[in-house]
Structure 1
Amino acid sequence: MREHDTMAGEDRFREWMQDTPARLDVGRTGTRPLTREMLKLRLDHAEAVDAVYGVVKEETLAEFDLFTVETRYRDKEHYLLVPDSGRVLTEASEKELGERCIHRPQVQIVVSDGLSAKAIDDNLADVLPALRDSLAANGLQEGTPFFVKGGRVGVMDDIGRVLAPEVLVLLIGERPGLVTASSMSAYMCYRPAPGRKDSDRMVISNIHASGTPPIEAGAHIGTLLRKMVEQQASGVKLIV
């Protein structure tokens, strides 16, 4: 390979490094990673573990007046080992939703820790106000928002069974990785109910400061919800 081709290839590689948070060209000392890279890896891993086992701050929920209900997750270890436990509400929580929430709302907003409490703490303050502004701009009415502790995506269907919303959006913490531990997803479904498939849902993922901007995501969610209401569909059936 000619020298200028080699240099051009190196320049392109450096550009790629600027465009991705992936670990590229981290360097070695013999067969071992550089000390600074090893320490950074351990730090990122520790942050991911903390995100999974963390708890959403009370002040985060209080800021938006979100009351808390729970799934049958029992504890974090059970939640991780038995995913179905996070898809069904407890009987007490089902009763509380029935007493405190608007039934058959046009738009039901639900927040859940999922696999990253940090995602909620870091992003909710930007996503939720933007989403509410977008709902108003799109002429949509919000129901009674609340927080689900120990939730999985499938809890949308159980909530749909209880409250029967026209559309539901679940803001939930994503599984953390070694790039970020604060990524949020927004799952949406038209008339969620038991038996819904993954193909009936749609999602905006990677919502965080270095991914999909939280304010932009909130605005876009409102637009998608309007289309879902207009077309009476979601997931692969929605024409976007």
Structure 2
Amino acid sequence: MKTRAPSPPSIGDLRDLTPARVGLGLAGASLPTQALLEFTLDHARARDAVHAGFDVSALMRGLGELGLEASSVSSRARHRKDYLRRPDLGRMLDPESQQLLESGAGGARRLAIVVGDGLSPAAVNAHAIGLLRSLIPQLAADAIEIGHAVVASGARVALGDEIGAILGARMVVVLIGERPGLSAADSLGVYLTFAPRVGLTDEKRNCLSNIHRAGLGYDEAASRIAWLIREGLARELTGVALKDESGSRTPRSIAASPSQHDESET
């Protein structure tokens, strides 16, 4: 008796594996109305995420509740339009912020945390404190203390290099909103840089991205970040020379995490 060959995967099977828009079909020469409406809604959510307000006061309060000494600084991008049109301004602290950090530097620090708005303030508002709540105990287990936390408005990733250098941090970890996509408008990214200084390029950093409700959960992300911090400090490097060998586990969605608060989407 011949064994029946398995049927090839269908478009429906593919849709179950990805949030990407595949096999939407046609209505005449156009998209079906439902697909078009969903696309328009997701595009509006992405635009709203870019222009969302950055809740500095709530983040400062949340960092304080986690026991972290925190400062609020700004880049040289004074307005959101400047930030979007002039990425270079988002990589430099304004003079007042430089003076503020220099006055409180107080010697070398092992680790500094920067929470920046990036291209999705909505992502940072929603996820930064929850992620840090999972990360801090894992760092404590390795006797790694966060020397200082900074909330940075108008921030690009490289702003962390200047902040870390002023604070004398051996490593800086930047939590920042990622460019919104049509399947995730509130995705948080984390960038780690050993021996931060102005002028570093991206091959010197490690990045963990896609932290959001339908992506990487807080506990899984915190586990990987803690491993990268521990190994980066021990080996005195980050970037292409440091591969994530923390081990793979099935990520849990943020919604399923017991440490996640019930928050509505921004």
Q: Same fold (TM over 0.5)?
A: yes
Q: Following superposition of structure 1 onto structure 2, how do residues 199-218 of structure 1 map, counting pairs within 5 Å?
A: 199-218=203-222
Give the alignment's TM-score, normalised by structure 2. 0.83
Letter in 2 for 1:180: A
Aligned twin of 1:28 = 26
Q: Once superposed, which parts of structure 1, at least 4 consecutive aligned residues long, lie more than 4 Å away?
A: none
Deviation at 1:169, TM superposition (A): 0.3
Inter-partner Cα distance in structure 2 for 1:158 and 1:8: 56
Q: Following superposition of structure 1 onto structure 2, how do residues 18-167 of structure 1 map, counting pairs within 5 Å?
A: 18-57=16-55, 58-65=57-64, 66-101=70-105, 103-167=107-171
Give the alignment's TM-score, normalised by structure 1. 0.91
Per-residue CA deviations over 1:58-94 (Å, capped at 9, x if unaligned) read: 3244222344210001211111111000000011011
Unaligned runs of 5+ in 1: none
Per-residue CA deviations over 1:20-69 (Å, capped at 9, x if unaligned) read: 00011222210121111111111111111111111123324422234421
Inter-partner Cα distance in structure 2 for 1:128 and 1:110: 11
Aligned twin of 2:224 = 220
Per-residue CA deviations over 1:150-207 (Å, capped at 9, x if unaligned) read: 1001112211231120111000000001011011110001110012121111100111
RMSD value, Cα: 1.8
Letter in 2 for 1:23: R
Inter-partner Cα distance in structure 2 for 1:30 and 1:102: 68
Unaligned runs of 5+ in 2: 65-69, 246-266
Between the aligned residues of both structures, percent identity stands at 33
2:74–2:153: 8 Å Cα contact kept in structure 1?
A: yes
Aligned twin of 1:178 = 182
Per-residue CA deviations over 1:86-139 (Å, capped at 9, x if unaligned) read: 000011011112234554211101100100011112212321111111110111
Q: 1:25 to 1:129 in 2, by over 3 A?
A: same
